[in-house]
A and B are shown apart, each in its own frame.
Chain A
Amino acid sequence: MSIAHKETTMETRITTTTAARPTAVTSPGGGPRRGVNREGLEAGKRSTRTILWILLAASLVLYGFPFVYLLLTSFKTPIDTIAVPPTILPKEWTVVNYMNALGRGGVVASIINSVQTAVISTLLSLLLAVPAAYGITRYKTLSGRVFIMAALVTRMVPPVAIGIPLASMMASVGMSDTPIALAIAHTTISLPLSIWLMSSFFEAVPRDLEEAATVDGCSRLGALWRVVVPVVSGGIAVTAIFAFLASWNEFLFALLMTAIRSQTTPVVIANFQTQFGLDWGSMTALAAVYSIPVILLTLLLQRKIVAGMTLGAVKG
């Protein structure tokens, strides 16, 4: 299918470093088309628009409510959390759940593990995906096409199928229960996605750019590193966020491959349920602590993320 960002003019792509960010995907291709599209699908009548806004507000309230309820619950007293009938607002606001959750042994350590694992996995993913995607998109060789198909097929592999063999492989080289082992496992998830995303971003870089660089005496590797990588830095940032989120939120590999030492927070959250009975208060507090930083981070970087997500999927 035609991707709008291909239509953006070359000048805009070269002049800004974030040019490879395909914001054009979320807004229609060129300037003139946007105007036409507005008349096309956008609702014209004032009354219709009012109804649509009300509909949107209602959907957003419904859609947003579950997480708001999680936050509100985390500020209730432990007894209040399981009161019958439940109330939406806390009767008495307290941070006791947060004290309980963070004070519990292993919880803070698990957050550190999560950060470590996600950072290692993100770096590994980028280190492998950036050159591979460049090789695929710049030199359209047969091996490149085979490789990107193979990378897509790995997306279908259920983690439950390779988790156990992976764990025993790590054990045989003395790396079981380490953040590095888990980071490698997480990279099997994020690498295909990263290659896919980075390929789309490289696709948008004009070929003349590194041809000019090689003429000026740069090696191909030098051209990639000094000319192309700075141009796609926006795309690399998007890919990094996706790799980070994939690792941060992953549960099954973490469950299969870690014991106490390198356990990440999702496993700890799940264990609250069995180990300590049903401590809903602490669970909601820890879930909030774990989710809010990434929600804020991604909302801050939302434009880039939206572009990346759309590109990854629309590109196909």
Chain B
Amino acid sequence: MRITDRRFALYLMTPAALFLAVFVAYPLFRLVADSFFKISPIVGGPRDFVGLDNYVRAFTDEAFIGAGWRTLAYTLVVVTLEFALGLGMALLFTTLGNKSQIWRTVFLYPLMIAPIVAGLLWKFLMIDNFGLIGTLLTQIGILHNPNQIGWLSDPGIVLFSVAIPDIWLTTSFMCLVLFAGLQNIPGDLIEAARLDGARSASLLFRIILPLLRPVIAVALVVRGIDAARAFDTILIQTNGGPQSASETMSLLIYRTMIRFGDPGLASAMGTLYLLAMLGIAFVAVATIWRPGKDN
């Protein structure tokens, strides 16, 4: 007896689907369910249904609102800088052609480094007193003394400082993806535009970027999602401090769950966080990608 193709395809997908259902969907269901309860952090402790109380507490919690804005700002900073730097490098590699191939490979190496190591490394570079960056900037005369900028201790700038390792780690990824996109742009199109007297800037903004739109959309969304979930690099650099100035949503949820022992509230925060991510991702895909409008 021969099963139909459709059924065969279903059988092939079943193990993976079951895995995701058990280990992603079910924990997510537990998360959402927990968000309606007040839960004691002690194992086997009381568990009282409180309705939307945790959500009300989240929205009236300054820490939650603050972390929301900081996560948004952090994501925008990371993705914007990465995109600008990645595009710059991709254009550089493209204009240099095949001879730059080996350097393209070298440029990839941070992608293999653990975020925790990257965070640690940059903390070491930016730390007060024995951080190398402050010292080097002083030696070339930009700063008066090595501690003039408190990269990781000044609440006003710390959110940007903790973003640096993330940018350093994944600019390579942006560059790689944009480079691949650039290779797919037909050369005669560029030629034609040049013959029409297009200057480099208008070539970039009028021809190259519009053609790269689908690639840019995917790259920005993929990286935006990752940046919004950033945890390792921030935890090891500042642990959210000073004065919570670098506390993003992942860190807040982690602390609410583990340190403050309030799983119910943490679950409500986690649920809202996930909903926000889904919403923003869909809007981003719809506006940047504009499927169907291929021009």
Contacts and interface: CB of A to CB of B under 8 A. Distances in A.
Interface in B203-251: 214-215, 217-219, 222, 225, 228-229, 231-232, 235-236, 249-250
B63 interface: no
Interface string A18-43: 00000001111100010111111111
Given A37-B183, A270-B116, A313-B219, A252 B13 contact: no
27 contacts: A1-B214, A4-B183, A40-B191, A42-B95, A52-B96, A55-B92, A56-B96, A86-B132, A86-B135, A88-B132, A127-B15, A132-B12, A132-B13, A135-B9, A139-B8, A162-B27, A165-B28, A188-B23, A191-B16, A249-B112, A251-B114, A270-B120, A287-B120, A298-B109, A299-B105, A309-B176, A310-B176
Contacts of B183: 4, 25-28, 37
B114 A139 contact: no
B158 interface: no
B15 A291 contact: no
B28 A161 contact: yes
A73 interface: yes
A316 B235 contact: no
Task: Name the residue among A82, A128, A129, A284 with the largest chain B CB count within 10 angstroms.
Answer: A128
Contacts of B49: none
Interface stretch (A91-99, A142-150, A231-239): A142-150
Given A1-B214, A287-B120, A33 B274 contact: no
Given A41-B94, A131-B13, 5 more contacts: A132-B17, A169-B26, A245-B112, A270-B236, A287-B121
A166 B28 CA distance: 9
A134 interface: yes
B100 A36 contact: no
A131 B266 CA distance: 37
Interface in A70-120: 70, 73, 81-86, 88
A36 B186 contact: yes
Given A249-B115, A270-B116, A128 B121 contact: no
B196 to A, nearest CB: 14
B62 interface: no
Interface residues of A, number: 104
Contacts of A164: 257, 263, 266
A215 interface: no
Given A60-B107, A139-B6, A187-B23, A41 B190 contact: yes
Given A1-B215, A37-B186, A160-B250, A56 B24 contact: no
A156 B115 contact: no
Given A161-B28, A269-B120, A195 B105 contact: no
B92 A52 contact: yes
B129 to A, nearest CB: 5
B124 interface: yes
Contacts of B218: 313-314, 316
A251 B232 contact: yes
B13 A144 contact: yes
A157 B185 CA distance: 34
B42 interface: no
Given A306-B105, A310-B180, A40 B13 contact: no
B189 interface: yes
Most chain B CB within a 10 A radius of its CB, from A81, A88, A157: A157
Contact of A40 (B26, B30, B89, B190): B190
B145 to A, nearest CB: 10
Contact of A150 (B19, B20, B229, B257): B20
A44 B218 CA distance: 31
